[in-house]
């Protein structure tokens, strides 16, 4: 039984090939743009999470050797607040962390046990 989607002679005219290649190129261009546009933002957020981790360690509220931080959200740009979850490596309590940053410095860290 012949495939319904194929032409009997398996030919595609030049106009259809051009349309298919333009759609493919447009999809590749859109994907590439999305990846490059989001890369700097992701890198900046990771740097902020690392700064919050250092602040928690210096503050001594959590032993960061026993916890990993999971990113939950971000608000703001120059004055920003990260919402993180401190997840224990083994057994232990989960904590929600709000880390405030101004430019490149941590201005405050709030810790609350997750309900």
pTM, to two decimals: 0.60
Segment 75-99 mean pLDDT: 91
Residue-number span of the structural domain to which 75 is assigned: 14-113
Q: Write the pLDDT tens digit of every residue in 9-19.
A: 555 565 666 56
Q: Is residue 65 part of a domain?
A: yes
Q: Is residue 1 part of a domain?
A: no
Q: Is residue 9 part of a domain?
A: no
Q: How many domains does the chain have?
A: 1
The CA distance from 9 to 56, in Å, is: 69
Confidence of residue 45 (pLDDT cuts 50, 70, 90): confident
Q: Is residue 6 part of a domain?
A: no
Q: Is residue 45 part of a domain?
A: yes
In sequence order, what DSSP letters do the residues of the chain get, joined into one string? ---TTS-TT----HHHHHHHHHHHHHHHHHHHHHHHHHHHHHHHHHHHHHHHHHHHHHHTSS-TTSEEEEEEEEE-SSEEEEEEEEEESSS---EEEEEEEETTEEEEEEEEE--
Confidence of residue 103 (pLDDT cuts 50, 70, 90): confident
């Amino acid at each position: 039984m012949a495939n319904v989607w194929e032409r009997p002679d398996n030919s595609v005219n030049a106009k259809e090939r051009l349309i298919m290649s333009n759609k493919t190129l447009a999809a590749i261009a859109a994907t590439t743009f999305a990846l490059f546009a989001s890369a700097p933002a992701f890198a900046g957020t990771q740097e902020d999470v690392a700064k919050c981790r250092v602040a928690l360690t210096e503050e001594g509220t959590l032993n960061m050797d026993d916890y990993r931080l999971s990113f939950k959200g971000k608000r703001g740009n120059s004055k920003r607040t990260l919402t993180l979850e401190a997840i224990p490596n083994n057994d232990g309590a989960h904590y929600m962390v709000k880390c405030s940053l101004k430019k490149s410095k941590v201005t405050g860290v709030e810790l609350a046990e997750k309900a």
